[in-house]
Each structure stands twice: as C-alpha cells, then as structure tokens.
Amino acid sequence: MRLLEVGNVSKSFGNLHALDGVTLDVESKTLTILIGPNGSGKTTLINVISGFYRPDEGNVMFQGRQITGLPPHKIYKLGIARTFQIPTLFWKLTVLENLLVAEKNNPGESFLRSLLKRSWENSEGSAAGKAFKILELVGLSAVWDKPAYNLSGGQMKLLEIARCLMTDAKLLLLDEPISGVNPTLAHEIFSRLIKLRDELGITFFVVEHRLDIALSYVDHIIAMALGNVIASGQPEQVINDPKVIEAYLGG
C-alpha cells in the first residue's frame, strides 16, 4: 500500500528551483531512504511533506488523503512526525520529560496504543507507561532520568525518534538520523528502525547519505539530484545506476 504519494512537487526560493517536479511514493511499512548530493533538495522535500513549506506546485497525499498546504500541526495530527537535521530537544528536561511533553500534544489517535494494548494496560494506559515502553524500544530506558544535554549525539537522535513515537505517528520523516554519530551507534540506530518497522508497522522515510551504514537495512532507495528524482528502486539497482554515480562524482 502507498502510504505517501508526492506528485510533481516544485518549490523555488527566488530563482533557485530547490524542487523541480518531484514525484515519488513511499510504501507502507518500509524503510525508504532518500539520498542525493548536498543541496539536491532533500531537506526541502521533508519540509514540504511535513507542512513547513508550502509547495509552489504539485500535491502530497497521505493515506490517500490530500495534505498539500496543510499547516504542520494538522499534518502531525494526521500521523506524520519528523526530526530535524539538528536535534531540537528540551535540553534541561530529562529524557522521560521530553517524551511526556510530546504526549501533551497527542493527537488522540491510538495507533501504538492498540498495537501494544496489553503493555499499555499493564501500566494503566498512563503516558509514563507508554513513554517507558518506547524508551525500551529505542534503547534509552537506562538513561530515562538524565537531562537531554547529557546524552551522546546518537542518544539525542534516538530521543528525537522516541518523541515521534509518543505521538502515535504512522510515518516518520528523519533528516540524517546518523549524522555525526559513531559507526557502532549508527548501526544500532538503523537496527532499531528495522525493529520499529517490524514490531509497530511504522513507515520510515529517511534522508541519509551514509550508505556504507544504511545500505544493508533499507527496503527502497530514492535518489535526488538538483531538485529531481533521478532513480528509485531496490538498493543494489539504485546505487549502481549510472545517473546516481554521475550525480555523486559530478557533484
């Protein structure tokens, strides 16, 4: 099933065509990564999908529903959560508190709750019980009472992902979730994403150019260059595509 459909989306900043007619689909319950040289439009696309930028043209559909031009909080309520290239956490709050703050804005949809009904019930469905379950899933339960500023770079990325899960999102848009993270933790982050995909049925659309790490985990790769999609398909097929190789070598 197609969870996300991006059709002919364009976005310019003055004379610069950051997105120039982008069309792509993201299948439900996959880990899809978006690659491309710096400046190819990846973050701009995440901003359009999540409602931070309004596209000049084209449309975005989520679960078959038109979401083009909706403001970020409406898109978030429909079940799309995102992280940023630079983590945005509440630095003085603890790990647990960072999750509880996200729960306050809970859209009220009970996707995760229904999937993990038994475990939520054991903790009487409380927000804290849900938060602890999520911290276990992402591997942060041992640091639940540490302030966010005390975490390693990789743990900050995991906390951002955990916060997305608190909102019961179905689609997570992650912008470079392993940038600046050491290889061991980077592999752990991708293994966690796979687990979340399999256990909770979450769909991931991830901007990531560290293919050496990401490649063995991904279901599908979409490659962009200069605001366009230049290849899309199975990982092996995309990384061997001459257009992709040229975009990287030429860029």
Ligand X SMILES: Nc1ncnc2c1ncn2[C@@H]1O[C@H](COP(=O)(O)OP(=O)(O)O)[C@@H](O)[C@H]1O
Helices (H), the chain: 42-49, 72-78, 95-104, 111-115, 117-122, 127-138, 153-166, 183-200, 211-214, 235-239, 242-250
Position 83 contacts Mg ion (CB under 5 A): no
> Least distance from C-beta 52 to Mg ion, angstroms?
13
If contact means CB under 5 to 8 A according to the sort of partner, which of Mg ion, ligand X, none does residue 36 touch?
Answer: ligand X
Residue closer to ligand X (CB basis): 17 or 113: 17
DSSP lists the bridge partners of residue 207 as: 34, 175
If contact means CB under 5 to 8 A according to the sort of partner, which of ligand X, Mg ion, none does residue 15 touch?
Answer: none
Residues 17-46, mask of contacts with Mg ion (x by CB under 5 A): -------------------------xx---
Residue closer to Mg ion (CB basis): 34 or 218: 34
Position 50 contacts Mg ion (CB under 5 A): no
Residue closer to ligand X (CB basis): 18 or 135: 18
Tell me which residues touch ligand X (CB under 6 A): 13, 16, 18, 36, 38-44
Residue 184: DSSP 8-state: H
Q: Calculate helix-pair angle for 127-138, 153-166, nearest 10 degrees.
A: 140
Residue closer to ligand X (CB basis): 43 or 68: 43
The pair of structure tokens assigned to 90 is: 């509440």
> Least distance from C-beta 226 to ligand X, angstroms?
9
Q: Could you give the dihedral angle defined by the CA atoms of residues 180, 181, 183 and 185, in that order, rounded to the nearest 10 degrees? A: -170
Length of the chain: 251
Position 47 contacts Mg ion (CB under 5 A): no
How many binding residues for Mg ion (CB under 5 A)? 2
State residue 155 phi and psi, 5-degree precision: -65, -35
Q: Give contact residues for Mg ion (rule: CB under 5 A).
A: 42-43
